[in-house]
Amino acid sequence: MTRAFWAPGRVNLIGEHTDYTGGLVLPAALELGVRVEGVASEGIRLASDHEEETVELSPNGGDASGWGRFVAAVAAELDRLGRPPVGFEGRVSSNLPIGAGLSSSAALEVGVATALCAVAEFPIEPMELALAAQRAEHRAVGVPSGIMDQAVSVLGVADHAILLDTASLEYRAIPLPPALALVIVDSGVRHRLEESGYAVRRRELEDALVVLGGRRPADVEPHEIAELAAGLDPVGERRLRHVVTENARVREVVSVLTETPLDAARLGEVFREGHESLRRDFEVSTPELDLLVDLAYGAGAVAARMTGGGFGGSILALAEHDRAHEVADEIVAAYPAGTARVSAAAGGARELEVAA
């Protein structure tokens, strides 16, 4: 019997480069994602609509190259958890742009994991699945990424963002104002985390966090930064300032989103502050992303900032629902290399109905 599974990509509203320090994040699952369709089999055999290589593996993983590294790593991590050795033969398709900062790799990992668990009748708690997919990312490409991408791909709720404490793994759904739509604009500047400065930034931040004496940045108040950073070099001070203030911005955005009426002006200010922090203090933005943020505000977006790990990828703009497509078109008209998509916040990974 053919079965199909879906795992969404994500856009992060606020809380960038905080998840690997036990901080707060506020992502939302997208209507864009990865579909895994096929049947149970003795081994794993997956073709892709976007890759020439067909992945062929044993049910517990094995050696693979290219996109197959993610499939192999997922199978190996689930094998460690005791998943029965049932394979899957089928096809992977996606409408998520690769390298656009929308977590295409996490969606692939979660989609494959969801399929492999289902055909093996191996029940697994949502967060446990997300953690297995995160470990698979580490195994596949050696990037020390946080839990945010995989978690929201599993936990997404339609019309909500997910406030996640990446230290305790506690989370709750935050309703998004129905008057606002998500506008994602891909800069066309491609990045791969394992080839970007992501790992360098993480090391720089970890070096700076020594001055906190074991406290996590999410528990430090912004007014403490100057005193704590006194012994750091300028780079360490900037990295520390970003992560402390970014956690504070997550809390403020949640506060704004849950108040009635919506303070749209303040929401725009906090997003702008977040982008400037990523540009100046964490130094992961690019001229293209900076331009797109300016164009978004110029087109009438309520809020805008870069989203994802940086070094390329996309921006997120929040626009009035009735004007979202107009805002998207105006941005792309001024930046023809970009591609804009309007989306609502979507649900998380799940099995789909397949027409008979």
Cα torsion 266, 268, 271, 272: sign: negative
How far is Cα 271 from Cα 255, in angstroms, rounded to an integer?
13
Could you report how far apart the first and last alpha carbons of the chain are, in Å?
Answer: 10
How far is Cα 66 from Cα 98, in angstroms, rounded to an integer?
13
| C-alpha triplet 247, 248, 249: angle, nearest 5° | 90
How far is Cα 8 from Cα 36, in angstroms, rounded to an integer?
12
The yes-or-no answer on residue 149 being catalytic is yes
Q: Which of 149, 159, 207, 281 is catalytic?
A: 149
As beta bridge partners, residue 15 has none
- DSSP string spanning 81-119? TT----EEEEEEEE-SPTTSSS-HHHHHHHHHHHHHHHH
How far is Cα 316 from Cα 301, in angstroms, rounded to an integer?
10
Q: Give Cα separations from 150 to 74, 131, 231, 273 (angstroms).
A: 12, 7, 36, 26
274 three-class SS: helix
User: Which residues are known to be catalytic?
Assistant: 149
